[in-house]
Amino acid sequence: MATTPAKPPVPGAPDNAAEFAREAFRRLATRRIAPTPQNYLIIYNEVAGIVEPPASAPDQASPAEEMLASFAAKLIATPGELHDFGRRFARALKAGDFETYGRNLSVLVEKHFRK
């Protein structure tokens, strides 16, 4: 994750790392915020004038995951054993378990496409 340093936002703000750290702890205490690593990072970056790029949405599926989900959904819509495979694929995808998805895909190919 890249950060972009900027000038301190407040006149008279600290201008070196040790001063940034002291000011960050002071602000944590003043605001009565728990001094967790994440909270410290947020306040330190505020004091130092570092702008963090917004995090990407973790809930957004990649194109590959969308394709795998579509494949699973199509199998679920079929009767019989293919339906069961589709449900297995959907469960593995929901859990982010691509190893299991791949193993099930291998079993599907061996069972239904190799003769």
* pTM over the 0.85 mark: no
Tell the residue number behind the tokens 């967790």, with chain if given. 36
Q: How far is CA 22 from each of CA 17, 30, 44, 72, 84, rounded to the nearest angstrom?
A: 9, 12, 9, 53, 59
Residue-wise pLDDT for 19-75, tens only, equals 988 999 999 899 998 888 888 889 988 998 888 766 665 667 788 889 999 999 999
Residue 29 CB coordination number (10 Å): 10
Q: What is the pLDDT of residue 14?
A: 60
Selected residue with higher pLDDT from 60 and 91: 91
Give CA 104 to chain center in angstroms: 25
Contact residues for 7 (Cβ-Cβ < 8 A; gap 6+): 49
Q: What is the pLDDT of residue 12?
A: 54
